C-alpha cells in the first residue's frame, strides 16, 4: 500500500478484533497521552485496538502518540480537515466488530465498554450506546452554557444522538453506508444518528459515566472565532444540505431546535436591513433600528441574569446563523468517497506491551511521513 492509498473499511466478517476505539485528534498534545492510556486500558480486557485518526496536527500530538502500541493514521491533505473526516478516517483503518468514537481531549472510563457491549448483546435493535459525558472544563463560558441547558440527548435513556461518543455496531454502520460524512465541519454525530434512525435503529445512553471531557479552555469569544475560522459554525448548514432528498431530512428538521433559532436570526437581520426604507420620519427609523438591535441582547441578559452571558448568546447566534447560510451554499464531495491517508504507525499487535517497551522498539513497523 502506498503512503496515501485510501483504505476500505473491512466488512464485518473480516473483523480481527472485537472493539476498535477510534480517537480523532487535531493538536491535542496536552491531552493525547492520557487519552491513549485510558483507551489502551479499556481495550486490554476486551480484545480491542486503538486507532488514532490525526488531522495533520502541527504540534507534538503525533510524536507523543508514537510511544504507544496503537495504529496512527493521518490525512494526506491538511486542507480536508473537518469534524466529519476524523471518525471516517479512523473507521477506514479499523477492524473491530464494534467501534467506539471519542475525542483526543477525553478520558475513557474503565469498565464502560464491557457494560456497553453487554447492552448491545441484549438489545439487537440498538445500533449504538453511549454513557454520561462528564465535563471537566467548568470555567469556560461555552461549556457552562452547555451544562446549563442540560440537553435531553445527554441524559440516560433512549436518545436521538450520541454526542460525546459511543459504541456502534459495524453492521449498523455498513447498513447506512459510512460512519461520518467527510463534508461536515460539525454535527457529524447527529448526522450518523438520523441516518441510523431512518432505518429504525435505536440509540441509547446508559446512566453511567463513559468519558471525562476536558475541552478547550480558550476565552469564549476566542473559541467562537476559532469555530468560524475552522468552519465549525458551517456544520448545521452542511447537514441540512446533505439531508435534502434523503429519508433523514424529517428527522433533521424535527430534531434541531437551533435550526429555527438561527432562521429567526436571519429574519431579524432582514428586518433590521429594511428599517432604513420604512416610510417613516428619520427619527422614528433610527429609534426603531436601535430598539430592534438591542432588544435580543436585553432579553437574553434578563434570562441569563448576566449581561455578559446575554451578549455572548446573541453574538453566538449571529455567528452560527451566518454559518448556516455558508454551509448550505458550500459544495459537497461524495460522502462515500474514500479519504486519502497515510499510516504513520501500526503497532496494535503489540497491544499487551507497556508504552515504555513499545517506545524502545521504535523501528521496523514505524512509517512516518510529515504532512
Q: Residue 6 has what pLDDT?
A: 39
Non-local CB neighbours of 300 within 8 Å, separated by 6+ positions: 309, 310, 311, 313, 314
- Percent above pLDDT 70 for the chain: 86
**Within this chain, do residues 65 and 161 fall inside the same structural domain, yes or no?**
yes
Residues 141 and 202 in one domain: yes
Conformation bin of residue 47: beta by default, left when phi > 0, alpha when psi is -120 to 50: left
The residue range of the domain holding 74 is 12-217+336-360
7 located within any domain: no
Q: What's the pLDDT band for 1 if we cut at 50, 70, 90?
A: very low
Instruction: Give the pLDDT confidence of 15-62 residue by residue, as tens digits.
Output: 458 999 999 999 999 999 999 999 999 999 998 999 999 999 999 999
In this structure, the answer to whether residues 309 and 342 fall within a common structural domain is no
Q: Which distant-in-sequence residues (6+ apart) come within 8 Å of 225 by Cβ?
A: none
The answer to the question of residue 155 being in a domain is yes
Q: Are 48 and 110 in contact (CB under 8 A)?
A: no
Quick one: 53 and 71 in the same domain?
A: yes
How does pLDDT run across 197-250, given as a tens digit for each residue? 999 999 999 999 999 998 777 778 888 999 999 999 999 999 999 999 999 999
**What is the grid cell recorded at 112?**
464502560
Cell numbers 497491544: residue = 351
Examine the domain organization and report whether 341 and 325 are in the same domain: no
| Shared-domain flag, residues 354 and 307 | no
pLDDT at 340 over 70: yes
Amino acid at each position: 500500500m502506498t503512503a496515501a492509498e485510501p483504505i476500505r473499511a473491512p466488512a464485518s466478517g473480516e473483523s480481527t478484533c472485537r472493539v476498535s476505539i477510534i480517537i480523532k485528534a487535531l493538536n491535542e498534545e496536552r491531552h493525547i497521552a492520557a487519552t491513549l492510556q485510558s483507551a489502551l486500558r479499556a481495550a486490554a480486557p476486551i480484545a480491542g485496538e486503538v486507532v488514532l485518526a490525526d488531522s495533520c496536527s502541527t504540534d507534538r500530538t503525533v510524536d507523543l502518540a508514537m510511544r504507544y502500541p496503537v495504529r496512527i493514521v493521518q490525512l494526506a491533505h491538511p486542507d480536508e480537515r473537518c469534524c466529519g473526516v476524523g471518525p471516517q478516517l479512523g473507521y477506514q483503518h479499523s477492524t473491530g466488530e464494534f467501534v467506539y468514537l471519542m475525542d483526543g481531549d477525553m478520558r475513557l472510563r474503565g469498565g464502560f465498554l464491557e457494560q456497553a457491549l453487554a447492552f448491545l448483546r441484549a438489545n439487537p435493535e440498538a445500533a449504538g450506546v453511549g454513557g454520561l459525558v462528564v465535563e471537566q472544563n467548568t470555567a469556560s463560558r461555552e461549556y457552562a452554557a452547555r451544562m446549563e441547558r442540560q440537553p435531553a440527548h445527554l441524559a440516560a435513556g433512549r436518545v436521538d444522538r450520541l454526542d460525546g461518543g459511543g459504541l456502534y455496531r459495524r453492521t449498523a454502520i455498513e447498513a447506512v453506508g459510512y460512519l461520518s460524512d467527510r463534508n461536515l465541519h460539525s454535527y457529524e454525530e447527529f448526522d450518523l444518528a438520523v441516518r441510523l434512525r431512518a432505518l429504525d435503529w435505536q440509540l441509547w445512553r446508559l446512566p453511567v459515566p463513559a468519558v471525562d471531557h476536558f475541552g478547550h479552555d480558550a476565552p469564549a469569544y476566542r473559541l467562537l472565532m476559532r469555530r468560524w475560522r475552522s468552519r465549525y459554525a458551517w456544520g448545521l448548514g452542511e447537514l441540512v444540505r446533505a439531508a435534502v432528498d434523503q429519508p433523514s431530512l424529517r428527522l433533521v428538521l424535527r430534531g434541531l431546535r437551533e435550526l429555527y433559532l438561527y432562521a429567526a436570526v436571519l429574519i431579524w437581520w432582514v428586518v433590521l436591513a429594511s428599517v432604513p426604507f420604512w416610510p417613516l420620519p428619520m427619527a422614528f427609523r433610527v429609534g426603531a433600528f436601535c430598539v430592534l438591535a438591542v432588544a435580543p441582547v436585553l432579553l437574553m441578559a434578563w434570562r441569563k441574569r448576566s449581561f455578559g452571558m446575554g451578549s455572548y448568546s446573541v453574538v453566538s447566534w449571529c455567528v452560527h446563523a451566518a454559518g448556516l447560510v455558508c454551509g448550505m451554499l458550500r459544495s459537497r464531495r461524495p460522502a462515500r468517497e474514500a479519504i486519502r491517508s497515510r499510516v504513520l504507525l501500526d503497532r496494535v499487535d503489540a497491544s499487551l506491551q507497556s508504552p515504555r517497551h513499545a517506545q524502545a522498539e521504535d523501528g521496523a513497523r514505524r512509517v512516518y511521513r510529515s504532512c
